Amino acid sequence: MRTAFLVLLIVPNLALAETAATEPLKLSGDTMGTYYSIVVDTPAESLNEGGALQEKVEARLTEINRQMSTWDPESEISKFNQSASTDWFEVSAEFARVVEEAQRIHKLSKGAFDPTVAPLIDLWGFGARQPKKTPGESEIEMAKKKTGMQHISVRRQPPAIRKAIPELQLNLSAIAKGYGVDAIAELLIAEGQQSFVVDIGGEDRAGIAKASGDPWKMGVESPVGGLQRVVPLTEMSIATSGDYRNNFTLDGVVYSHAIDPSTGWPVRNPPASVSVLHESCMTADAWATTMMILGTEKGLALANAENLSVLFQNVTDGAVTESATGTLKAPEDQKDASLPWFPFAAAAVVFLIAVTGMAIGTILQNKSIKGSCGGLASMPGTEGKSICELCTIPKDECTNAELREKMQQAAAERSECEV
């Protein structure tokens, strides 16, 4: 389970009845508070002899965690957050690159993408419980004074960042996972492997087409269950954010658990799901979160202005409607793709789970970068908790009764499907 609203699934491009002449290499493990899964279109025995490639993959992911994990008190980002200095703070070149991209999307989105909103997350109580009442406007305004990506400066040479507000906290959970995907893709290419899929917690990047000439195929889940769309992918990334299993109703209005930095309030009536295609998974990851904050109407306008391929899914009376730009505009004969593909997708999910051997209990023990769970919604507050702990707390230990019930229901439904 990527998060409470897993939206991307790798769909093998082989009929289940077929037996491949040679098995492709498959690697998997835990990272960044979630899982990683890699498929390389190369016979396993010829590439990962002695587990050498997997060791390189895990060493690379460990390096990224040491730079950008808020769960590691000795990481670069933790030390930056702990410092009250407004002087330049030396960081790695990679850290500076990710912050620079976050800053670029913050500007293009007019502040919708803002990885500094931890004080607002704390204020709304997004942790082990849902808010029962709204904070006062004065409290919101006070918290907003401690946020703002515009108060972060970055330079490449020598790489460093600085903050204009001593209390400012930076969290890159909504972009660092995508960067991790890009880093592993670049590692595979450097190792001479061009055809692959790298998946970290549902953020994915594909290399060139397989030796058979077939593209890699990715599934996008429907908010109401099943498979909404199958997306052929070559030399491209896809990232998705959603909140259709993690929202709450207050005074008759549905709110997301993602905060709108401009208002200090949770997003009202958010899209159920947003998927973004881009060459860079880091960029797709950040844009997916941004589009959740903006909503369908404003998001579509910005996507068109920036030539982005974006798929919005909204649910009305149990029916899913799509709004899309760029190459994610589906032809008419693909709009009901979920029906013929669902049996194969369900079997593929079981296959992938068996391969990765991933379980919620394993994820719980990981203390790296948290999975994005809708990007900004996953950002922990000062106590290290977020509403997206739903993704990593065993359902029997979850202190939130409503979320525990959702988790137990989802687990029961999943068990029925696997039988």
User: Which pair of structure tokens corresponds to residue 340?
Assistant: 């013929």
Assess if residue 132 is contained within a domain: no
Assess if residue 307 is contained within a domain: yes
Per-residue pLDDT tens for 69-89? 988 999 999 999 999 999 999
Looking at the DSSP assignment, which residues form a beta bridge with residue 315? 320
Assess if residue 217 is contained within a domain: yes
What is the per-residue pLDDT for 135? 87
What is the per-residue pLDDT for 253? 75
Assess if residue 206 is contained within a domain: yes
* Number of other CB atoms surrounding residue 236 within 10 Å: 22
Domain span at 184: 8-69+174-418
Rounded to whole angstroms, how far apart are CA atoms 9 and 175? 19
Assess if residue 51 is contained within a domain: yes
> Sign of dihedral through CA atoms 207, 208, 212, 218?
positive
pLDDT < 70: residue spans in the chain: 1-21, 45, 50, 127-133, 244-246, 330-419
User: Which pair of structure tokens corresponds to residue 309?
Assistant: 């391929």
Contact 71, 30 (CB under 8 A): no
In this structure, what CATH number is given to the domain that contains residue 297? 3.10.520.10
Q: How far is CA 258 from CA 129, 227, 248, 382, 402, in A?
A: 15, 24, 11, 16, 18
Assess if residue 263 is contained within a domain: yes
Assess if residue 114 is contained within a domain: no
Q: What is the crossing angle of helices 52-68 and 93-108, to 10°?
A: 60
What is the per-residue pLDDT for 225? 87
Pick left, alpha or beta for residue 401 (phi over 0 → left; psi -120 to 50 → alpha; otherwise beta). Answer: alpha
Rounded to whole angstroms, how far apart are CA atoms 140 and 194? 49
> Sign of dihedral through CA atoms 238, 239, 243, 245?
positive
Contact 272, 244 (CB under 8 A): yes
Assess if residue 111 is contained within a domain: no
Per-residue pLDDT tens for 161-195? 999 999 999 999 999 999 999 999 999 999 999 99
What is the per-residue pLDDT for 352? 45
The number of distinct structural domains making up the chain is 1
